[in-house]
């Protein structure tokens, strides 16, 4: 937990202040039995009313002081844990944003969500408890033992007889708790992932009437979480009975031998009452140990999961360390692949093998191929979401490995296969491509993407709110907004990953016609021959290799596969995906 606790460093002075007020509370609690002893022995038994009033008033005064100290401690502790929670969530989110795609794939999305939410909250709760009672409980036990020896060493011996056993018992229980609650947090990840998948696929689930099936799947993972929780808490629940049993045996011994000592006159009544008070305080503190171990075990498991993210060193993009100024060399958008091969880090199967081609600045390349042929992967290598396993990718004659990431990605406009929109207005989604874009530029991009007229028909026009992931828009509208967002950047390179699949023929033709004024180099993944015909060149991929490269007319003559695709679309329409 060292890394996690380091986020408390900015608040170390407040932590000290909070602990001081906690110690004030503790000191009052430890002093009170001594005052009770004096009141009983020197006041009640001696019949001295002045002693009773004097020390009784002091008890009331210090009790009020402890009350104020507790309120101030709670206020400061709350401020510390909320500030800590903000800081560590920011740090986690920033670290995730810096992940390369290869690193991102190592952490399931549901697991990252849990780490940024549940795990942070659990550690917050433990830090708050630490500043309020977690440190106070063991200190109260130690302080009560010390004060008991001050009052009467003989009776105090009976309070510490079971201490060695309790220390060993608590050590092993805390280790078991850490292991069990670590497993519980992994189960929470599984439940979160199941919920996330179902919410994302709610339309599909309803369309296929799979609600009952998905409910049974969720019941399975929820039941696993329940059983692991039950197992963990059952073992943890053994702590309190054992602690109370040992302490009650010690308390009975104090009462038994204390009563005998009072009869012989070796112990005063006030001393026995004080020792009993300390024993009761120790019992109360020990009763908190069960909860402390449970919360600490969960917090340690959560802290380790957060540290796993924070301590990632390899696979981190250095985009934030790049110079803010753009390169002085004019960018023309020339792209060249030289014998490029690639496989994902999680698998050894090659996705691309020996791919070579060159795209001239300002030209348009259509990329075609069957599902799984490596089309999207090829595009992902250009902005360096992944690095090529073999070969070289050149942008304007320079290896992409040598480009500063910020400068490289500034010249690229990306329209992914799945249109992603963010909660906010249409204008906010368009300016997401370039926050400095003027209103005129936003409307120009919308016109080019053939979405301006549709936006004008909305009641609030460009201020229309977009639901989560654009749920209140059609597929075609989302695709055109995604294209407009990329055009706002005025990129030198425009990557479109099957981004016109939901557009009708006339809208798509109007889009390509509008894009002719753009000087960007365009790489367009498409399944449509009519779209490919409008490109300067066509790259046909088959099982990760270049099957053919050339113009439409050249491929109709030289490529059997391309010719077969063209003929199938002429005869049977345009399929959703190509078949090799």
Q: Express each pLDDT in 8-24 by its tens digit.
A: 889 989 999 998 998 89
Sheet holding 493-497, edge to edge: 412-415, 493-497, 521-525, 364-369, 537-542, 545-550
CA distance 410 to 413: 8
Who has greater pLDDT, 335 or 238? Answer: 335
Q: 501 — phi, psi (to 5°)?
A: -65, -30
For the cut 70, the answer to whether the pLDDT of residue 58 exceeds it is yes
Enumerate residues 6+ apart whose C-beta is below 8 A from 37: 151, 268, 270, 271, 273, 274
Q: Could you tell me how far CA 152 lies from the centroid of its own chain?
A: 54
For the cut 50, the answer to whether the pLDDT of residue 576 exceeds it is no
Question: Which residue's structure tokens are 């654009």?
Answer: 470
Across all residues in the chain, what is the average pLDDT?
82
- Per-domain residue ranges for the chain? 2-310, 327-411+493-503+519-580, 420-490
493-534 pLDDT, tens digit each: 999 888 877 777 888 888 888 888 878 899 999 888 888 888
321-334 pLDDT, tens digit each: 544 445 555 678 88
Radius of gyration of the chain (CA): 35
Q: Report DSSP state, residue 335.
A: E
Residue 391 near residue 341 (C-beta atoms within 8 A): yes
Q: Give the three-state DSSP class for 537.
A: strand
Please compute the mean of the pLDDT values over residues 223-244 and round it to a whole number.
Answer: 79
Plot region of 339 (φ>0 → left; ψ -120 to 50 → alpha; else → beta): left
Q: What is the pLDDT of residue 392?
A: 92
Task: Classify domain 420-490 by CATH number.
Answer: 3.40.50.300
Task: Classify domain 327-411+493-503+519-580 by CATH number.
Answer: 3.40.50.300
Who has greater pLDDT, 144 or 267? Answer: 144
Q: What is the pLDDT of residue 472?
A: 67
CATH superfamily placement of domain 2-310: ABC transporter type 1, transmembrane domain (1.20.1560.10)
Is residue 217 exposed (0-12), middle (13-18) or buried (19+ Cβ within 10 Å)? middle
pTM > 0.75: no
* Common-topology check for domains 327-411+493-503+519-580 and 420-490: yes
Sheet holding 352-359, edge to edge: 352-359, 335-342, 390-395, 398-399
Is residue 147 exposed (0-12), middle (13-18) or buried (19+ Cβ within 10 Å)? buried
Q: What is the pLDDT of residue 557?
A: 87
Report the percent of the chain where pLDDT is more than 70.
Answer: 94
Count of other CB atoms within 10 angstroms of residue 386? 18
């Amino acid at each position: 937990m060292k890394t996690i606790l380091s986020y408390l460093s900015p608040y170390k002075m407040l932590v000290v202040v909070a602990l001081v007020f906690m110690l004030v509370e503790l000191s009052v609690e430890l002093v009170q039995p001594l005052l009770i002893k004096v009141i009983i022995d020197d006041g009640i038994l001696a019949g001295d009313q002045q002693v009773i009033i004097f020390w009784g008033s002091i008890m009331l005064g210090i009790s009020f002081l402890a009350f104020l100290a507790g309120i101030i401690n709670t206020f400061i502790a709350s401020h510390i844990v909320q500030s800590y929670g903000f800081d560590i969530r920011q740090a986690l989110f920033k670290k995730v944003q810096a992940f390369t795609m290869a690193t991102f794939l190592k952490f399931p999305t549901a697991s990252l969500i849990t780490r940024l939410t549940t795990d942070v909250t659990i550690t917050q709760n433990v830090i708050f408890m630490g500043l309020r009672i977690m440190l106070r409980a063991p200190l109260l036990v130690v302080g009560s033992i010390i004060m008991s020896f001050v009052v009467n060493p003989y009776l105090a011996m009976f309070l510490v007889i079971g201490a060695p056993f309790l220390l060993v018992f608590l050590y092993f229980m805390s280790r078991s708790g850490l292991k069990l609650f670590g497993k519980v947090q992994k189960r929470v990840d599984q439940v979160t992932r199941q919920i996330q998948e179902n919410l994302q696929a709610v339309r599909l689930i309803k369309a296929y009437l799979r609600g009952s099936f998905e409910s049974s799947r969720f019941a399975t993972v929820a039941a696993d979480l329940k059983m692991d929780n039950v197992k963990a808490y059952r073992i943890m629940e053994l702590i309190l009975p054992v602690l109370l049993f040992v302490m009650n045996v010690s308390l009975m011994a104090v009462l038994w031998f204390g009563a005998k000592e009072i009869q012989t006159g070796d112990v005063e009544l006030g001393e026995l009452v004080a020792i009993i008070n300390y024993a009761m305080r120790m019992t109360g503190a020990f009763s908190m140990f069960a909860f402390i171990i449970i919360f600490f075990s969960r917090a340690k498991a959560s802290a380790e999961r957060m540290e796993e993210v924070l301590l990632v060193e390899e696979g981190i993009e250095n985009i934030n360390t790049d110079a803010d100024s753009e390169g002085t060399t004019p960018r023309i958008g020339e792209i060249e692949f030289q014998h490029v091969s690639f496989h994902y880090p999680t698998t050894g199967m090659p996705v691309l093998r020996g791919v070579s081609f060159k795209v001239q600045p300002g030209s348009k390349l259509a990329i075609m191929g069957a599902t799984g042929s490596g089309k999207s992967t090829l595009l992902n290598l250009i902005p360096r979401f992944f690095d090529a396993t073999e070969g070289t990718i050149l942008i304007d004659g320079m290896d992409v490995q040598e480009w500063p990431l910020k400068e490289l990605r500034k010249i690229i406009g990306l329209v992914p296969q799945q249109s992603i929109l963010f909660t906010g207005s249409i204008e906010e989604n368009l300016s997401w491509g370039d926050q400095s874009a003027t209103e005129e530029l936003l409307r120009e991009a919308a016109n080019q993407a053939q979405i301006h007229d549709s936006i004008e028909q909305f009641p609030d026009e460009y201020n229309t709110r977009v639901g989560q992931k654009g749920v209140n828009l059609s597929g075609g509208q989302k695709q055109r907004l995604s294209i407009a967002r990329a055009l706002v950047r005025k990129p030198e390179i425009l990557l479109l990953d099957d981004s016109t699949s939901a557009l009708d023929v006339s809208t798509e033709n109007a889009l390509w016609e509008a894009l002719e004024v753009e000087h960007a180099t365009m790489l367009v993944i498409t399944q449509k021959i009519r779209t490919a015909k409008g490109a300067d060149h066509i790259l046909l991929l088959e099982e990760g290799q270049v099957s053919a490269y050339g113009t439409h007319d050249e491929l109709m003559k030289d490529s059997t596969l391309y010719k077969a695709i063209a003929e199938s679309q002429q005869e049977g329409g345009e399929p959703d995906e190509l078949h090799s």
